[in-house]
Amino acid sequence: MIKAEQKPMEEILRSIDPYKKILLSGCGACVTVCHAGGEKEVGLLASALRMARKKIGKPLEILEATPARQCEPEYAQDLSELIEKVEAVLSLACGVGVQTLVRYFPKMPVLPGVNTTFLGETLSHGVWEERCQACGNCILEKTGGICPISRCAKQLLNGPCGGSSKGKCEIKKEADCAWQLIYDRLSSLGQLYKLEEIIPAKRWGVESRDSGLRRIIREDLKI
């Protein structure tokens, strides 16, 4: 799922400084799972912002909402009644959710309250780690199901660099070397022969973000 982290309080206060009444909108999907922008975080942040603004003599009125998925048109549109009553929206959804509101409410300022960080998984309670860069052409079949594009600091496709030491990456000592994980995994699957094959230069410019805006069109689903 998408992982995000709340922006620093000072940055949020600065961005909402011109406004007296805002909607604080969370999202019931990914940011709820990673405790960055669910209903609970909306409530906590709203209280903190009210207090901070009261302290400086600039009280702030905050309406609160947490649509099930802010990035889906029907849920975003459900916010229209609330949005009519405010000067700006502070969104705790990911960058996608922010832009869905922007698309439906052209005259309403929508400000991000979180930094959208990565596509990752939960390692343990309160710990998340990146797993996918949405590169557009999955190579997990070749690498034992472990992604070197998201997990190797140099995105190496043909094995570890000279900085792989005792299973760790030289860039971040707490990070496992992706290629050590790939080696161990293919070894336990009895598939080490897969490492002998050269993975050719990736087609970043055709398959990934570098190709310009990506879009999926499913003719069979279009109305």
Partner 1 sequence: MKAGSNLEKILSKGLFAVTGELGPPKGNDVSVVKRKADLLRGYVDAVNVTDNQTAIVRMSSIATSSLLIQMGIEPVMQMTTRDRNRIAIQSDIFGATALGIKNMLCLTGDHHTFGNQVDSKNVHDLDSIQLIDCVRTMRDEGTLLGGEEKIEGKIELFIGAAENPFADPFEFRVVRLAKKVKAGVDFIQTQCIYDMKRFKEWMKMVRDRGLHEKVHILAGVTPLKSGGMARYMAKNVSGIIIPEEIIDRIVKAKKPAEEGIKLCVEQIQELREIEGVHGVHIMAIEWEQMVSQITEMAGLLPRPKVE
Report how far residue 156's alpha carbon sits from residue 159's, in angstroms, rounded to the nearest whole number: 6
Under the binding rule (CB under 8 A), the answer on residue 136 touching partner 1 is no
Judged by CB under 8 A, the number of residues near partner 1 is 30
Closest CA relative to residue 48, chosen from 34, 62, 65, 28: 62
Distances (CA, A) of 222 to 56, 180, 214, 217, 219: 52, 44, 17, 8, 5
The residue within the footprint of partner 1, chosen from 171, 188, 189, 211 (CB under 8 A), is 171
SS3 115: strand
CB of 146 to partner 1, least distance (A): 13
Under the binding rule (CB under 8 A), the answer on residue 177 touching partner 1 is yes
Pick the stretch among 15-23, 42-50, 59-67, 169-177 that binds partner 1 (CB under 8 A): 169-177
Which helix (H) or strand (E) element contains residue 62? strand 61-65
Collect contacts of 196-200 with beta carbons under 8 A, ≥24 apart. Answer: 197/142, 198/158, 199/139, 199/142, 199/157, 199/158
Site map (CB under 8 A) of partner 1, residues 56-75, x = contact: --------------------
Under the binding rule (CB under 8 A), the answer on residue 198 touching partner 1 is yes
Under the binding rule (CB under 8 A), the answer on residue 175 touching partner 1 is no
What does the binding site for partner 1 look like in residue numbers (CB under 8 A)?
A: 153-168, 170-171, 177, 179-180, 183-184, 192, 195-196, 198, 200-201, 204
